[in-house]
């Protein structure tokens, strides 16, 4: 049996290792290892509640606003603070801005350069893939980086900075002016130009008309611009590169909902999908520590009842990670 250690996994946000056991050219065991102890639950204990607005965004440099928003909404609830309509709109605008930035980073910076791996060098699409997706020099890579810079300017207008923008209980620390909105719309038009002309080869509205794989295939043949866009290029040649075989999971997906409105309901609702769509029930979420370097309980616990008590034992056969294991309905 052969053991393969990959440390660290590059081009992700976080500290992740993999230990893989291979026998007869097949993976017989694999361990995903959270290689860094964080302990934010411990850091927050005993501090002023408002400190969560400053500390939790440091959980992640890619998606700090989601943590800031979660902390702000928790404090809204705790203080029974009424958020004005513009407060909800600014929070949601900045969250949507960050989501767009994350898409640009994931597709073009974290995933795109893999398409230039030399294992694909003999494929007929390789010259075009290299031209667009090469790290630093790729035309689409550079366009995506510049697009992220533009989106940072929206944060500068409404949030002061990014990462680690700070909301406040009951709203946001800014007054929205017409000139601010005008500037943001102008920036967004530039971002939309990149998405429509480079990523999609069509308007966002046209792309959203696609509701199935059959629709996407028809879209691909509808216009040469569609087929020659970045997305069209990946769709056309992805199967030849074996991309359709990568990342196949258990077919279960969870979304928590985002962009909360005045009634506190998310504009984009959450849900749980296991072949059928179910309404999300957060009480079914639990964290397990059987294989994590923690002690304090057996089975799973809801995060609200969780315990973060480090117990590092490098000789343990069962425990190998600093990451807890989240589950939904223990699935």
Q: Are 93 and 184 in contact (CB under 8 A)?
A: yes
Scanning 3-84, the segments in alpha helix (DSSP H) are 40-44, 52-55, 64-79
**Per-residue pLDDT tens for 13-60?**
778 999 999 999 999 999 999 999 999 999 999 999 999 999 999 998
CB–CB of 224/236 below 8 Å?
Answer: no
pLDDT at 11 over 80: no
How far apart are alpha carbons 240 and 233 in whole angstroms? Answer: 11
Residues of the chain above pLDDT 90, percent:
87
pLDDT for res 187: 97
* Nearest CA among 310, 329, 330 for reference residue 321: 310
pLDDT value for 100: 96
Tell me the pTM: 0.91
pLDDT at 165: 86
Q: b/e for 78-105, b at 16 or more Cβ within 10 A?
A: eeeeebeeebbbbbbbbbbbbbbbbebb
Give 283-326 as a DSSP string: GGEEEE-TTBSB-S-SSEE-GGG----B---TT-SS--BSS-EE
What's the mean pLDDT when you consider all of the chain? 94
Structural tokens at position 11: 């081009």
Burial group, residue 144, by CB count within 10 angstroms (0-12, 13-18, 19+):
buried
Nearest to 141, CA basis, from 128, 152, 132, 149? 132
Hunting for tokens 């992220």 — which residue is that?
Answer: 148
How far is it, in rounded angstroms, from Cα 13 to Cα 110?
10
Model confidence over 261-316: pLDDT tens digits? 887 789 999 999 999 999 999 999 999 999 999 998 999 999 999 999 999 998 89
Please state the length of the chain. 331
Q: How far apart are CA 155 and CA 87, in angstroms?
A: 14
Is residue 285 a contact partner of residue 303, using CB atoms and an 8 Å limit?
yes
Q: What is residue 197's DSSP assignment?
A: I
- Strand-pair partners of 27: 22
pLDDT of amino acid 262: 83
Q: Is 277 helix (H, G, I), strand (E, B) or coil?
A: strand
Q: What is the pLDDT of residues 69-102, one digit of tens each?
A: 999 999 999 999 999 999 999 999 999 999 999 9
């Amino acid at each position: 049996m052969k053991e393969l250690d990959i440390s660290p996994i590059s081009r992700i946000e976080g500290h992740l290792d993999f230990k893989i056991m291979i026998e007869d050219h097949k993976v017989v065991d694999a361990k995903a290892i959270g290689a860094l102890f964080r302990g934010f639950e411990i850091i927050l204990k005993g501090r002023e509640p408002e400190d969560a607005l400053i500390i939790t965004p440091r959980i992640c440099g890619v998606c700090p606003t989601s943590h800031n928003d979660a902390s702000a909404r928790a404090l809204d609830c705790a203080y029974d603070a009424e958020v004005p309509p513009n407060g909800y709109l600014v929070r949601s605008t900045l969250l949507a801005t960050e989501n767009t930035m994350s898409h640009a980073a994931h597709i073009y910076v974290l995933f795109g350069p893999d398409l230039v791996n030399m294992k694909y060098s003999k494929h007929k699409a390789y010259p075009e893939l290299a031209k667009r997706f090469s790290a630093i020099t790729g035309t689409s890579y550079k366009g995506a980086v510049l697009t992220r810079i533009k989106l940072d300017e929206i944060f500068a207008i409404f949030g002061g900075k990014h990462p680690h923008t700070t909301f406040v209980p009951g709203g946001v620390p800014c007054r929205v002016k017409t000139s601010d909105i005008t500037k943001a719309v102008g920036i967004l038009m530039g971002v939309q130009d990149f998405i429509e002309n480079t990523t999609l080869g069509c308007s966002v509205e046209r792309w959203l008309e696609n509701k199935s794989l059959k629709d996407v295939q028809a879209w691909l043949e509808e216009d040469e611009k569609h087929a020659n866009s970045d997305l069209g290029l990946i769709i056309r040649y992805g199967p030849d590169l074996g991309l359709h075989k990568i990342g196949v999971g258990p077919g279960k997906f969870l979304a928590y909902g985002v962009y909360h409105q005045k009634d506190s309901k998310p504009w984009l609702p959450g849900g749980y999908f296991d072949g059928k769509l179910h309404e999300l029930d957060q009480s079914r979420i639990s964290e397990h520590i059987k294989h994590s370097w923690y002690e304090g309980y057996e089975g799973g616990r809801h995060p609200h009842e969780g315990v973060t008590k480090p117990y590092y034992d490098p000789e343990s056969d069962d425990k190998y990670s600093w990451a807890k294991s989240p589950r939904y309905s223990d699935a």
